[in-house]
Amino acid sequence: MLTHSQARLLARLAEFGDHLETAWDVPRELSLPGLAESLGLVRSALHQPLSELENQGLISTRTAHVIGGGSRKRTVVHISKKGRVLIDKETPTSRTTSSGIIGPAPDPTEVHGRLSEIKQLSEAISNGKSVILSGLPGIGKSTLARALASHLGSLRWKIRWANCSVNTDVKAIGNMWLGNSAPSSPEAIVESTRVKKTLLVLDEVQELHPRHSSSISNLISKASSSICSVLLVVRAPNPLDLDGEFVEIRLQGLDLESAKLLFSEDIDNDTATVVSESLGGHPLAIRLWSPDEGVPEKSEAVLRYVEKTVIKRLSEDGTCSLDELSLSPLPLHVEEMASDAGINELDDSAILKWSNGLTEPHHLVRNVRRASWDDQKTSRLHKDAAMTWSLLEGHRARKLEAHHRSMSGKEEDIQWIESNIQQIALSDSASAAVVLENALESKESQILREEAATIALDRGERIEAGIHIEKINEVLPRKIFESRLARLNGNQTLAEKLEAEVITLSEPSQRAKMEVSSIIRRFDDRLPGRLGNSESDKILRIISQVDLGAISNDERESATLSLELVKYSIALSDSNIQEASKSRAEIESRLALDDNFLEILDLKARLSSRVNGASSNSSISWSKDFISSLDEPVTRILAIHSTLEAVGKEFPNWLIEAHRESCGYPLREDVPSLRRLSAHRWYWRGVLDPVNRMSHWTEAISRFRAAECINAANQLVTKMAKGS
């Protein structure tokens, strides 16, 4: 007959296939630290039951490489065939059920002594309440939230889970809750999740950077007022400024009897009692305790215990690895670390937590370690980390290098950020925004201030943009930013006034480029459909007044090409074949003969001839072949949108599928034309998916505004109000 501990271990081991018994690499869950973590026990609690199971031939142990755990081999455990037969007899029901969780929720672990808290949370959420779950680091907030998610999942709730880090923004949360290609505006995200019996979880809220906390506060406030419930898991103080009603529950330590369940069976009751009481029933602190170090002082606070006992007992290698992990803003792959020699020691000491092959210290330990450094040491550590990441390739390496440089406070690192921030923003604008905030807090730089304003405007963040614009000293750049901000705020009159002032103050070459950009934006600022005659005439009149003589030859060619493309589109819209032919000839003279864009022009020309609002079947068939031949994503999206506009109200399945596939391609935020293209893509998503139209068009409106297309946004607002 198996004891309770033995049965739990066998049941856990039986979840893994027997093919792993001879595998070179095995999951960390089969290592001793992984088993202890998943069962919610101290490491020493495994020794006796594992020994007994091995003596009975129910398990075997060996050394193997643990996936993501560094180069050194570790002891791993496998269930034997005899063990599988026995555990199947004792627990014949299936041990695997669908979790019903969307997003990066942690693996479930066994929970001790939290039944009353699960019941309290479940009742509040089932009654439509939103909850803030707070408590000390390591007290078990995330573990409890995960157990609650499993409980609600068994009641047919849908759980959407998101984790926070220093670079998390609203868009990242939307992607975790809804999957990739999710909307990025709070309104659209909430609309997409507005389903009964849905719980939105946001874990590790205290990790958010102030740069993104305002917009996330807006998201959570809107979500909590919908028919969904929200669960915020946070260590006080809560960085979010929330509207609406939240039930606040502060998690305390485990009661004495539950805390004693974490210990090894060979720890006597008196020792388990005294240690539990000394550490206040704090589950992580108990797991960090080692029988070799005696009983903690009863008056000793958990933080002091971690500092004076847990960290102090580490070797030099362990301390070095802990420092590197504690300094990092994100969990790391062991292979990325400059010093991984102490990883096994940290893991054996229950200091690390793991997810998807990435590791970081438990935040209780990390925070204590960070607090032990003075400013000089912190700066030096960030400087050393920046140098380490500078030797590695890839977007992730540049992002982490930039973070460490922004935190070092060194003049040369500020200069590096000035030169490289645009590259960082291309791959991750949320991260770039945080880097700029950190750097500007260390040292004022007008270059960085303008970059911060640009990123905020490109992301459609009005409040953040305004804060940075106010601190820009030069008149001309400030007016340019103020014009963009006015357009973002929907104040077209002020935007045009400021833009006119900028054009007057600018050098002739800059003036011409701004006029061309203004014309293109004006032409694009509308929903799909024919441009009105009066607006067409006005745009053509403005084009005729542009003087390109002051700009360089290369720039003049590019500007002329852009204007001819506008003229070509207007001519097709007006069915003016003669003017369209003239513009096409001008365009062709500036493009290579094999340029796909010439075929886009031909596609538009074919599709412009319509009967009863739709193009001919032969034109649509030609378009289908053309789209299938395109590999370049932006050109493909343009062709798809042109065809959608031309087919009338009946959309063929192949075109719907082509558009669906195109939605997976990310479009850059820093290019105005691509911001506008992204807005149009969300518009067409709403057209093609009536069930989710409200969410898609809400996102399209947000994107149009971020792209400074006020008219298009207003047109779509009107269209939504009419229910069309």
- Percent of the chain whose pLDDT exceeds 90: 78
The neighbour count for residue 249, using CB atoms within 10 Å, is: 18
| Separation between Cα atoms, residue 136 and residue 146, nearest integer Å | 17
> Above 90 in pLDDT, residue 110?
no
Residue 473, token pair as written in the block: 């000293």
- C-alpha dihedral sign at 185, 186, 187, 189: positive
C-alpha closest to that of 184 among 231, 133, 132, 219: 219
Q: Could you give phi then psi for residue 706, rounded to 5 degrees? A: -65, -30
> Above 90 in pLDDT, residue 637?
yes
Q: Which residues pair with 163 in a beta bridge?
A: 203
The owner of tokens 């054996």 is: 348
Strand 101-102 to 158-163 pairing: parallel
pLDDT at 96: 39
pLDDT at 299: 56
Whether the CB-CB separation of 80 and 59 falls below 8 Å is answered with yes
Confidence of residue 516 (pLDDT cuts 50, 70, 90): very high
C-alpha closest to that of 192 among 676, 685, 666, 668: 685
Q: What is the pLDDT of residues 217-230, one digit of tens each?
A: 999 999 999 999 99
> Above 70 in pLDDT, residue 190?
yes
| Separation between Cα atoms, residue 497 and residue 503, nearest integer Å | 10
How much is the pTM? 0.90
Class at the top of the CATH hierarchy for domain 4-90: mainly alpha
| Chain centre distance of CA 657 | 26
- Percent of the chain whose pLDDT exceeds 70: 98
Residue 616 burial by Cβ neighbours in a 10 Å radius (0-12, 13-18, 19+): middle
Whether the CB-CB separation of 201 and 145 falls below 8 Å is answered with yes
* 3-class SS letters over 404-467: HHHHHCCHHHHHHHHHHHHHHHHHCHHHHHHHHHHHHHHCCCHHHHHHHHHHHHHCCCHHHHHH
- C-alpha dihedral sign at 133, 139, 143, 144: negative
pLDDT at 295: 82
Q: What is the pLDDT of residues 407-429, one digit of tens each?
A: 999 999 999 999 999 999 999 99
Residue 306, token pair as written in the block: 């971690």
Q: Which helix (H) or strand (E) holds 713?
A: helix 710-722
Residue 475 burial by Cβ neighbours in a 10 Å radius (0-12, 13-18, 19+): exposed
Which ranges of 1-103 would DSSP assign to H, the alpha helix?
Answer: 4-13, 32-39, 47-55, 81-90
Q: Could you give phi then psi for residue 357, rounded to 5 degrees? A: 80, 0
187-196, 385-394, 510-519, 591-600 — which is least confidently predicted? 591-600
**Overall average pLDDT of the 581-590 stretch:** 91
Q: What is the pLDDT of residues 437-466, one digit of tens each?
A: 999 999 999 999 999 999 999 999 999 999
Residue 205, token pair as written in the block: 């809220």
**Overall average pLDDT of the 31-38 stretch:** 88
- Identify the residue with better confidence: 610 or 410: 410
Q: What is the pLDDT of residues 67-98, one digit of tens each?
A: 877 778 889 999 999 989 888 766 544 343 44
Average confidence score pLDDT of the chain:
92
pLDDT at 549: 87
**Overall average pLDDT of the 471-489 stretch:** 96
CATH of domain 101-250: 3.40.50.300
> Above 80 in pLDDT, residue 470?
yes
Under DSSP, the state recorded for 490 is T
Q: Which residues have CB under 8 Å from 545's CB, separation 6+?
A: none
Count CA atoms within 13 Å of residue 51 on its CB side.
Answer: 8
Which ranges of 128-209 would DSSP assign to H, the alpha helix?
Answer: 141-154, 170-178, 186-193
C-alpha closest to that of 108 among 53, 39, 16, 45: 39
Residue 377 burial by Cβ neighbours in a 10 Å radius (0-12, 13-18, 19+): exposed
| Separation between Cα atoms, residue 366 and residue 364, nearest integer Å | 6
Report the residue count for the chain: 724
Cα–Cα distances (Å) from 574 to 208, 416, 424, 537, 680, in that order, read 52, 51, 43, 10, 22
C-alpha closest to that of 515 among 545, 478, 479: 545
Q: What is the pLDDT of residues 201-219, one digit of tens each?
A: 999 999 999 999 999 999 9
> Above 90 in pLDDT, residue 2?
no
Helices and strands (DSSP H and E) totals, the chain: 35, 13
Q: Give residue limits of the domains in the chain.
A: 4-90, 101-250, 256-310, 317-338+371-483, 506-590
Q: Which residues have CB under 8 Å from 309's CB, separation 6+?
A: 293, 296
Q: What is the pLDDT of residues 311-359, one digit of tens each?
A: 999 999 999 999 999 999 999 999 999 988 999 999 999 999 998 889 9
Residue 11, token pair as written in the block: 């049941």
Confidence of residue 99 (pLDDT cuts 50, 70, 90): low
Q: Is the peptide bond before 237 cis (omega within 30 degrees of 0)?
A: yes
Confidence of residue 618 (pLDDT cuts 50, 70, 90): very high
Under DSSP, the state recorded for 645 is H
437-441, 473-477, 554-558 — which is least confidently predicted? 554-558
Cα–Cα distances (Å) from 389 to 395, 421, 497, in that order, read 11, 15, 46
Confidence of residue 301 (pLDDT cuts 50, 70, 90): confident
Residue 581, token pair as written in the block: 């032919």
